[in-house]
């Protein structure tokens, strides 16, 4: 017979973070990204292990990227609100901060439909490359993003962004030589 003392505390069970076996990776199909992950976030506010981050607030290498062992190195998935400037246009301009002049995500492809096996449109994808401003001119960076949106126009304020890029290490501080006359 099992007594109440033998049962685990429900609060203890719900606080444990999910543990994934070594070698587990998140390798979704485009249809899975829109149909499962983005739709669940929009309709049920269930994001699973994908976090929400406004990717248009800072340059991609300055974003507060999450470490998720399910993602490949230098690749991230985020739910992000769209920045609307009008009825149809979407602003993908990143404002400048103290470290840079900002930049923009420039579209490299048109909107492509993501279809299910019955040729029903489930969502769309668009590809972008990040250009940073340097002395007023745009320079291409190595950062790319694929933005996924749902087919329904009513749910187009939230997108799923797949970002790839390389975070460069900050320059190491140079050692200043000892200018004192003493021996070391």
Q: Is the pTM of this model over 0.85?
A: no
Percent of the chain at pLDDT > 70 equals: 70
Per-residue confidence at 98, pLDDT binned at 50, 70, 90?
A: low
**49 vs 161, residue with greater confidence:** 161
Asked, for residue 6, whether it belongs to a domain, the answer is no
Give the pLDDT confidence score for residue 46 in this predicted structure: 85
Per-residue confidence at 164, pLDDT binned at 50, 70, 90?
A: very high
Give the pLDDT confidence score for residue 99 in this predicted structure: 64
- Between CA 161 and CA 52 the distance in angstroms is 10
Contacts of 135 (CB under 8 A, 6+ apart): 101
Asked, for residue 148, whether it belongs to a domain, the answer is yes
pLDDT at 136 over 60: yes
Contacts of 149 (CB under 8 A, 6+ apart): 34, 38, 123, 124, 125, 126, 156, 159, 160
Query: Into how many domains does the chain fold?
Result: 1
Contact between 171 and 163 under an 8 Å Cβ cutoff? The reply is no
Give the pLDDT confidence score for residue 85 in this predicted structure: 53
**67 vs 56, residue with greater confidence:** 56
Instruction: Kindly report the backbone phi and psi dihedral angles of residue 43, in degrees, each rounded to the nearest multiple of 5, phi listed first.
Output: -85, -35
Asked, for residue 181, whether it belongs to a domain, the answer is no
Question: Which pair of structure tokens corresponds to residue 70?
Answer: 């399910």
Per-residue confidence at 154, pLDDT binned at 50, 70, 90?
A: low
Q: Among 67, 54, 91, 62, which Cα is nearest to 17's?
A: 67
Asked, for residue 183, whether it belongs to a domain, the answer is no
Asked, for residue 46, whether it belongs to a domain, the answer is yes
Give the pLDDT confidence score for residue 153 in this predicted structure: 64
- Mean pLDDT of all residues in 111-117: 94
- Between CA 138 and CA 15 the distance in angstroms is 46
Asked, for residue 96, whether it belongs to a domain, the answer is yes
- Between CA 72 and CA 74 the distance in angstroms is 6
**Which of the residue ranges 25-29, 76-80, 135-139 has the most confident prediction, judged by mean pLDDT?**
76-80
Per-residue confidence at 173, pLDDT binned at 50, 70, 90?
A: very low
Asked, for residue 13, whether it belongs to a domain, the answer is no
- Mean pLDDT of all residues in 94-106: 78
Q: What is the CATH number of the domain that holds 26?
A: 2.170.150.80
Domain membership of residue 37 as a residue range: 21-164
Asked, for residue 178, whether it belongs to a domain, the answer is no
Give the pLDDT confidence score for residue 7 in this predicted structure: 43
């Amino acid at each position: 017979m099992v007594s109440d003392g033998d049962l685990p505390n429900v609060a203890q069970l719900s606080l444990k973070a999910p543990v994934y076996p070594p070698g587990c990776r998140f390798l979704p199909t485009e249809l899975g990204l829109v149909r499962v992950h983005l739709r669940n976030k929009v309709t049920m506010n269930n994001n699973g292990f994908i976090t929400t981050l406004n990717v248009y607030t800072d340059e991609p290498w300055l974003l507060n990227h999450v470490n998720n062992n399910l993602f490949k190195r230098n690749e991230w998935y985020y739910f992000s609100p769209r920045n609307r400037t009008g009825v149809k246009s979407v602003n993908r301009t990143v404002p400048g901060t103290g470290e840079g002049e900002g930049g923009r995500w420039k579209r490299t492809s048109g909107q492509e439909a993501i279809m299910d096996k019955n040729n029903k449109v489930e969502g769309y994808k668009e590809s972008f490359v990040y250009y940073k401003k340097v002395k007023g001119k745009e320079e291409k960076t190595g950062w790319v993003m694929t933005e996924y949106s749902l087919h329904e126009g009513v749910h187009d304020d939230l997108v799923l962004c797949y970002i790839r890029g390389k975070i460069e290490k900050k320059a190491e501080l140079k050692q200043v030589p000892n200018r004192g006359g003493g021996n070391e």
